[in-house]
Amino acid sequence: MSRRLSGTLYMPGDKSISHRYAMLAALAEGVSTFENFSDSEDCAATRRCLAALGVPIAQDQTRVVIKGCGRNGLRPATAALYAGNSGTTLRLLAGILAGQRFESALTGDASLQRRPMGRIIEPLRQMGAEIEADGGNCAPLRIRGGPLKGIDYTLPVASAQVKSCVLLASLFAEGTTRVIEPAPTRDHTERALESFGIEVACRDRWVEVKRPAALHAVQGRVPGDLSSAAFFMVAALLLPGSDITLPGLGLNPTRLGLVRWLQSHGARIEVETGAAVNGEPVGAIRVRYRREFLEADTLTICGDHVPNVIDEIPILAVLGSQLRGGLIIRDAAELRVKESDRIARIVENLQTMSAMVVEQPDGMIISGAQALHGARIATFGDHRIAMAFTIAGLVAQGVTSLDDPACVRVSFPDFFTTLEHALSFGND
């Protein structure tokens, strides 16, 4: 029995953008309203943390209304702020808390407590904050904030979360703050800051915020999440006869790496750009199955391209196993410090499904044209592993099941219903 995807699919609001809008709206003067705000558990963690800091937030389905407290209006929380599974919540909020004249504690779930925090502690200390961390590098963090000073900071890793942490701290700093990146990363914070009225200067690899003024409230719709769309795009490329359209998606160039890479290798993908909303380009993407695309020679993902597709690598690895020449992933050691060690988890699960894959310190070598066999998938509570291997299950022979399907709520609570809605079966 064959399977295919068809129809118009609506993606939840972009998770990265939703976090940033909520945090900046909390610091703004006036009331901000957002439609299509991400309904993910990660963004719920951000909302709960902000509410615990005294920010009035109301939510009606995916409409969120935030009454800004002004730059100096946050109040100390009565308990440790809990970021759950969300690295973005913890790292970005740490930048804001570093500028407050009170002490805060920040923590998260077991996965988040294993992830490296030295990368934000170092620049925040240079700016003048006092921070204690478990073993020097991990949450729980204790942050004694206060008046900060601007710094010139070269990121040791290409990370939008670290860049954003420093840029948010710069809102409380005397003088200019400049961040230099080793490779371009998503620039949602820069665009959001400008929408909220902050002057930001961007050149090729650096971003600068001068002594900032007050932030004003913002209204608008959050674009659909391209990283959520990636699972359906790849599924449509793998299942013969598929034809899907994804309207209202965020088309920020720092997130379009996957689409551009697939197009450059012959995938049948059309992008129609509409008007930008709050500085974020938005539009529709149509993806159609094309057998010739799967006949590609060995493809590689490496170098500066990696930060642009970092969250899409689990589903790209599944795609790689179905390309005739396979896929090589290099320069992606950052995957080892995501919600799980994604290099190990992808390799292990592809092997469980009978694919040939060789693990490398910074990536993997995936053999092509693999006949996948249905298997029990160990997600390690990682939402992107769960969704990527659900798609792998659609091209596998036999039954595939997940040990923890509910973990998809971290980014995409409606993932399975959206998939069921788009999936149809035939006898050809």
Active site residues: 311
**Residue among 220, 256, 196 nearest 25 (CA):** 196
Instruction: Please report whether residue 164 would count as binding ligand S3P according to CB under 6 A.
Output: yes
CB 386 within 8 A of CB 408: yes
CB of 17 to ligand S3P, least distance (A): 8
Among 46, 85, 159, 400, binds ligand S3P (CB under 6 A): 159
Joined together, the tokens standing for residue 183 give 């490779």
C-beta closer to ligand S3P: residue 106 or 355: 106
Instruction: Please report whether residue 160 would count as binding ligand S3P according to CB under 6 A.
Output: yes
C-beta closer to ligand S3P: residue 142 or 336: 336
Peptide bond into 140 cis (omega under 30): yes
Joined together, the tokens standing for residue 231 give 């699972």
CB 401 within 8 A of CB 356: no
CB of 161 to ligand S3P, least distance (A): 3
Stretch that binds ligand S3P, among 155-163, 272-280, 342-350, 365-373 (CB under 6 A): 155-163
In angstroms, the CA 178 to CA 183 distance is 15
Question: Positive or negative, the Cα torsion across 128, 132, 135, 139?
Answer: negative
Among 187, 311, 312, 382, binds ligand S3P (CB under 6 A): 311
Among 107, 161, 252, 321, binds ligand S3P (CB under 6 A): 161
In angstroms, the CA 144 to CA 121 distance is 12
Instruction: Please report whether residue 16 would count as binding ligand S3P according to CB under 6 A.
Output: yes
CB of 172 to ligand S3P, least distance (A): 20
Joined together, the tokens standing for residue 268 give 């049948």
In angstroms, the CA 407 to CA 124 distance is 32
> Rounded to whole angstroms, what are the CA distances from 377 to 278, 347, 358, 373, 381?
40, 12, 18, 11, 11
Tell me, residue by residue from 54 to 93, as one string, x for binding to ligand S3P by CB under 6 A and - for no binding: ---------------------------------xx-----
Instruction: Please report whether residue 179 would count as binding ligand S3P according to CB under 6 A.
Output: no
In angstroms, the CA 54 to CA 145 distance is 17
Tell me the β-bridge partners of 107: 82
Instruction: Please report whether residue 310 would count as binding ligand S3P according to CB under 6 A.
Output: yes
Stretch that binds ligand S3P, among 102-110, 135-143, 158-166, 345-353 (CB under 6 A): 158-166
Stretch that binds ligand S3P, among 153-161, 201-209, 212-220, 229-237 (CB under 6 A): 153-161
Q: Interface residues with ligand S3P (CB under 6 A)?
A: 16, 87-88, 159-161, 164, 186, 310-311, 334
